[in-house]
Structure 1
């Protein structure tokens, strides 16, 4: 019964649409009506500004971490903490508080990894920042980090780097999270191909997206 309750809590925690609520409460703006229409970190930064973006990013990140740590806090055994983290990501992506809409799962997935393997998250963050600096696109950086995660779970255990051994469940969860992130960026991928994707105001823009 406790496991079931904590799974529900994980979903509800992940489902909290921080960007949507911050926009409505403090800025009188519905993020669905602006920019990409997404309620995640990137659109929050773009529409509501740096302070709101940082606040939403931290909340979305830490709700993934908190969900992953819930079974440890309540001394629950017999089920991996990663399951709770995955449920939180699904809550974030399909939020009951937002007509089952949601963000693109990047920050919350990062929070799950932070709660289970901080060094692996550091590797993904490094990939994210390098791609961001070279191509000036948060979307492409997120996709690259997702792909890097899949590569990491396949290669790192064999060379005893960051991941000391193959963990089947960790590998499956990381693969699922990566696929969710990539699929949720379908529209971004189309814009990248058309050279019309939104850019951050720094970096080399190596793919030559058209600046707006």
Structure 2
């Protein structure tokens, strides 16, 4: 029991590590918390520092979720505990102790964590996310679709034991996007890339 509690704490600390901040500062001398969308996630890092560094941030943030949950599977034969570890890692990214609990929106870490929980469910939700971004041009819309669909794809593909935790993670991701939702509603959300003028 102590080992499981300790691993939950370590998963939160792993999630708290702000890769986007360190990458942007080391590579470009930019603090993503004060530029662009003022977010430490991959989308803002990509806009500020280039696609390659954005992808690197995405991969590292995903690993913050994937690795702790993969280890949790080895510590528990059931799916509920790995689900809690996924929630801890995502919460760490959103509310990092190292940044006074002001972090990112948790999408990449959610993807990584749920790849360790249910590959088919995650791939379907990621597919919906990518399709929404390709059609609309808005990363936030794709992220929201991923979050909203994930509880249902996990329910469909399993494991059923993590469905309640999945709803919790989904709710957090949607809540973190509340400003994006308002901008989408008002028509002021910035697209991923500006369209070329005629």
Q: Structure 2 length normalisation: TM-score?
A: 0.90
Check conservation: 1:127, 1:141, Cα contact below 8 A: yes
Q: Is 1:110–2:111 an aligned residue pair?
A: yes
1:8-23 aligned at under 5 Å gives the runs 8-23=9-24
- Could you say which residue in structure 1 is the equivalent of 2:182? 190
2:162 aligned to 157, 170, 178, which one?
A: 170
Query: Which secondary structure does the structure 2 equivalent of 1:31 belong to?
Result: coil
Instruction: Quote the RMSD (CA, aligned, Å).
Output: 2.0
For the Cα contact (< 8 Å) 1:71–1:77, is it kept in 2?
no
Cα deviation, 1:130-157, whole Å, max 9, x if unaligned, reads: 1111111000011111121233345x3x
What 5-or-longer segments of structure 2 have no aligned partner?
none
Question: Once structures 1 and 2 are overlaid, which stretch shifts more, 130-139 or 76-85?
Answer: 76-85
Higher helix share: 2
- Structure 1 runs (4+) deviating above 4 angstroms are 76-79
The 1:144/1:77 distance shift into structure 2, 3 A limit, reads closer
Gapped runs of 5+ residues in structure 1?
157-161, 204-210
Counterpart CA distance in 2 for 1:64 and 1:17 is 13
Q: Deviations over 1:51-89 (max 9, x none)?
A: 11011000011110111112245x456762111111011
Partner of 2:127: 126
**Paired residues, what number?**
194
Report the 3-state secondary structure (helix = DSSP H, G, I; strand = E; otherwise coil) of the residue aligned with 2:33.
Answer: helix
Larger Rg: 1
Conservation of the 8 A alpha-carbon contact between 1:133 and 1:202? no
